[in-house]
């Protein structure tokens, strides 16, 4: 799945080069391969900036999966019944598994998992904005599993057609599992939407609180996106942030309305002339604050990860000593 996991000395020699310092022939050959739709594999020549961008993006994606397990994870012990508890446990476990696949894909580019985890814990590396908000009620887990997973599927099925082999193969597998999460989320939402007035009110309240973070999920508007142009050119991103946001609105606004729910934006409408959704400013200032460490739960999320890292250290140390043997009988 990942190809060879080692980085060769010639790859390291390339480290730190700007695109205009790259060997022009190799760069042209690389871009022609991408143009022809070929996959780039770990040992193929690639410009440093392509490597750097992929590490950044895949690493952030991996962090989003393990941090993303936390808001829903807090509801495992409080799930309303055994069937829901089992399903939620399986979903959360899947999300952590996705992080494993993604860290392995990022490692093929030369950054170790330990470095990635350190950068997450120190706050250097970002992860998805949405996981910095609290899951206050059971209905929040339904909205997350339906609409955040829906957003993730739009983003990931698009990026799964991308140019870097190990990432797209990981995404393909992740998308299968996410599609199942989406069904689970939709089932939970429909159950609440067709339930008692109290259940409907819980669901509406959750949608009201999550709508803005979900609008932010696809990234800043294209006019403010710093990486899109390069990533689209190298087919890492196959659609821009605004294109993905529009696709989400196209697919899910009608479904939300169909359930009799209200979307908390009085200006949301599809312009019949342009075919594009128009919406109020979802408060981009809040987005920048949240992704730079100042959201409602950023500190709590990282504190939980630090705790897990500390408690799991003995396991990692034991695994790093493959020749060690038990000397004391266990019983």
How far from 117 is each of 108, 302, 313, CA to CA, in Å?
Answer: 16, 11, 12
Whose Cβ is closer to ligand BYC: residue 45's or residue 288's?
A: 288
User: What residues have CB less than 8 Å from 115, skipping those under 6 apart?
Assistant: none
Q: Which of 223, 212, 202 is nearest to 282 (CA)?
A: 212
The yes or no reply on residue 215 touching ligand BYC (CB under 6 A) is: no
The yes or no reply on residue 217 touching ligand BYC (CB under 6 A) is: yes
Q: Are 236 and 163 spatial neighbours (Cβ–Cβ below 8 Å)?
A: yes
Whose Cβ is closer to ligand BYC: residue 165's or residue 219's?
A: 219
Retrieve residue 106's tokens. 């990022």
Contact range with ligand BYC by CB under 6 A, out of 16-24, 161-169, 211-219, 249-257? 211-219
Angle at CA of residue 261, ends 260 and 264, nearest 5°? 145
Contact range with ligand BYC by CB under 6 A, out of 15-23, 32-40, 57-65, 160-168? 57-65
The helix (H) or strand (E) run that includes residue 7 is none
State in angstroms the smallest separation of the CB of 303 from ligand BYC.
18
Among 154, 231, 249, 302, which residue sits at the site for ligand BYC (rule: CB under 6 A)? 231
Site string for ligand BYC, 139-158 (x = CB under 6 A): -----x---xx--x--x---
Retrieve residue 137's tokens. 């009620």
For 18-32, the DSSP string reads -GGGS-HHHHHHHHH
State in angstroms the smallest separation of the CB of 272 from ligand BYC.
28
**Binding residues with ligand BYC: total (CB under 6 A):** 30
Angle at CA of residue 204, ends 201 and 210, nearest 5°? 140
Site string for ligand BYC, 65-84 (x = CB under 6 A): x--xx---------------
Contact range with ligand BYC by CB under 6 A, out of 40-48, 218-226, 257-265, 301-309? 218-226
The yes or no reply on residue 27 touching ligand BYC (CB under 6 A) is: no
The yes or no reply on residue 298 touching ligand BYC (CB under 6 A) is: no
The yes or no reply on residue 52 touching ligand BYC (CB under 6 A) is: no
Site for ligand BYC in 163-182 (CB under 6 A): none
State in angstroms the smallest separation of the CB of 282 from ligand BYC.
12
Residue with the shortest CB distance to ligand BYC: 68
SS3 38: coil
Among 97, 134, 220, 282, which residue sits at the site for ligand BYC (rule: CB under 6 A)? 220
The yes or no reply on residue 188 touching ligand BYC (CB under 6 A) is: no
Which one-letter DSSP state was computed for residue 143?
H
Q: What is the CA radius of gyration of the chain?
A: 21
Q: Which of 296, 59, 136 is nearest to 144 (CA)?
A: 136
Q: Are 76 and 57 spatial neighbours (Cβ–Cβ below 8 Å)?
A: no
Retrieve residue 191's tokens. 């159950």
Find where tokens 């480290």 sit: 15
Among 241, 242, 261, 305, which residue sits at the site for ligand BYC (rule: CB under 6 A)? 241
Contact range with ligand BYC by CB under 6 A, out of 107-115, 199-207, 217-225, 315-323? 217-225
Q: Which of 159, 139, 291 is nearest to 213 (CA)?
A: 291
Q: Which of 174, 68, 56 is nearest to 126 (CA)?
A: 56
Whose Cβ is closer to ligand BYC: residue 129's or residue 273's?
A: 129
- Contacting residues toward ligand BYC, per CB under 6 A: 56-57, 60-61, 64-65, 68-69, 95, 126, 128-129, 144, 148-149, 152, 155, 159, 216-220, 225-228, 231, 241, 291
């Amino acid at each position: 799945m990942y190809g060879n996991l080692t980085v060769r000395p010639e790859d390291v020699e390339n480290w730190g080069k700007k695109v205009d310092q790259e060997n022009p022939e190799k760069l042209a050959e690389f871009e022609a391969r991408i143009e022809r739709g070929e996959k780039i594999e770990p040992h193929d020549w690639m410009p440093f900036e392509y490597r750097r961008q992929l590490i950044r993006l895949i690493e952030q994606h991996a962090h989003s999966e393990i941090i993303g397990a936390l808001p829903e994870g807090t509801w495992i012990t409080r799930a309303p019944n055994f069937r829901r508890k089992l399903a939620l446990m399986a979903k959360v476990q899947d999300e952590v598994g996705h992080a494993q696949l993604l860290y392995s894909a990022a490692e093929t580019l030369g950054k170790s998992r330990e470095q990635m985890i350190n950068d997450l814990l120190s706050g250097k590396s970002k992860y998805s904005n949405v996981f910095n908000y609290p899951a206050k009620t059971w209905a929040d887990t339904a909205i997350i599993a339906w609409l955040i997973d829906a957003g993730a599927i739009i983003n990931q099925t698009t990026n799964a057609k991308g140019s870097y082999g190990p990432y797209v193969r990981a995404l393909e597998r992740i998308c299968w599992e996410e599609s199942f999460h989406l069904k689970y989320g939709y089932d939970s939402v429909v159950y609440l939407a067709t339930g008692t007035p109290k259940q409907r009110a819980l669901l509406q309240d959750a949608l009201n609180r999550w709508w803005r973070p979900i609008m932010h999920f696809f990234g800043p508007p294209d006019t403010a996106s710093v990486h899109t142009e390069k990533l689209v050119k190298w087919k890492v991103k196959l659609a821009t942030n605004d294109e993905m946001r529009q696709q989400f609105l196209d697919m899910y606004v009608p479904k939300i309305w169909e359930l009799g729910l209200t979307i908390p934006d009085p200006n949301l409408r599809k312009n019949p002339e342009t075919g594009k959704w128009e919406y109020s400013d979802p408060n981009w200032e809040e987005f920048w604050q949240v992704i730079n460490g100042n959201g409602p739960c950023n500190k709590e999320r990282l504190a939980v990860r630090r705790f897990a890292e500390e408690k799991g250290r003995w396991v990692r140390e034991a695994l790093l000593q493959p020749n060690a043997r038990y000397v004391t009988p266990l019983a």
